[in-house]
Structure 1
């Protein structure tokens, strides 16, 4: 397996890296500390066509390939994971299902605005129960004339409170569990749909994450995404797609952790010589480098299958599972190499550890990657 980047890929990587250096890195610590949503940065990303990079020009996209999007996300994540998470939610979890499952009128109305960066997407899946479509406060959609009435609560709504357009999963087949899910496009500000509270998080602090309430929220039948009770199919496909993007973000975070650790090991002197001379440090750096390399390979493999329009569930699950484990290991080693300084907030390695955990955990569903891999092996 070999990956050769085209001139376009190299240009996109450079553009994203320059943007990260100039606009993300200078404010990353501040927005992590305050939890401020970087609205001006989101606007700047729209001007660079980051918000609709791999979607067709007829819907306002830049028309690049999916690998370009993955490379761009990886570069941005090196500088500010919160900002890359806002973008990945918008593109992978909202724009993608609208593009793949939406009607032509839905694409023209919603996808075009999202690709141009005129509207921001939010993703509402998690509920207070153990899983979506479970628990007394699950979101239920009941037909009322030509509309659906939605009632219930959503938890950990990504880009919640700042998004203009949400993809919301609600139960339409109330006795069917997850198989009775349907997906809806819901616009912010409609009666009965409101933010109950913003959730304080350990990492990704500048990405708004909200608890949102539906109280007799009227949604037109025209805003049903796909067919009724097709939500579980849409969800599995969307999470596989988003899992590849999440793995790319982990790769970017871990690359920064590795580079900082190498630099610190060369500069930090103990017992009269740099700690880079110690075998224990060398072995940790070697483990970190190997993990970053393997995260990338798994991510690029899955991304290449998406470009070839092939089934990706198995490869996406492997990329997501490995990135979740190896990403935390890399950032833990970075903290360890930096010692007490790594544990303090004066350096950024502690933020990398907090952020890398959040990248994977928020887009998980009740169907974890291990179960997808195992079910494929045991067919």
Structure 2
């Protein structure tokens, strides 16, 4: 009995140690991947080589840390292991390496990276900003930039990036490879102060593109892909900590994403889509709501800007006691400001929905006149407003049009339920 209890305690201790080591590795991956990759890129000037070596280092850590324990300096251990792997590869690929196009890296940055690698116990330089801006290079499409940013800056695996963007792993791997090749020979540096805001704006657009792909998937079976939305928020957090200035529109973007993401648990019930008016607000993540409101408070008096106005609209929903208590008139006014900046069909569609809530479905339908937007959301909105007016024949026709265009299984099922709930013709 005593030996049995001792064995049980030993097994429990081993499991606890394994949990601690797994947690340490996960933390190192989450917090250090982008920084370590940036240092390797600065030193060796090859994205492909640096990325492969760092992945090998994490794989080796997963094998050895459970046996040898977590090192005192996990990031230093990973950096040293990855550096040695790069050097091994360079020795075996000496001829090929001389013909590979290299990133242009400032000599001072290279020297700094060499110093850190020579003594990984030193404080690690944070060069992720260069990596973030490189991934958002204008030579890349927004989709390629989004995928490459998730892969290189946040360390999301190629398999997971493929899944998040509804691609096969082989297709996504090929796309990421093409994106890396397009960056060969580019400058691994922070742009001049005058050029930096434009590049940061590209990063912001990429982050919001990735967030939207998670928050409202255009295709596939999911109501939402919360993991992708969460990674996009993490990217904005990282960027804001790295910028040498306070980007207030980026703060507004973070608030917008937090407010929308806070509703994720309430947007799904038994696998089905739940629209905002029907959501259980007790399921919203109120810590994220409070964080977003704290970000917005210093920005309220700022000049109108796209992310700020969208965040203020989302805040109206988040702070209303109930759907019925929502200040739709203020939301319509915010959309009017947004239209003055960016008159797009998407904004007009959203404004029409808000106007229908403020003044009735007839006003919403009138606001949709002349709006042209591909996809299912325009006919779906028109169908809902027609149904509220009692025009069930036209509502059914609009639902049919939306269903035919909808590639997201969850939204399509929702539209089918709404159409089938109409009174028979």
Greater strand share, structure number: 1
Name the larger-Rg structure. 2
Q: Which has the higher contact order (CA 8 A, sep 6+)?
A: 1
Q: TM-score, normalised by structure 1?
A: 0.29
Greater helix share, structure number: 2
Q: TM-score, normalised by structure 2?
A: 0.26
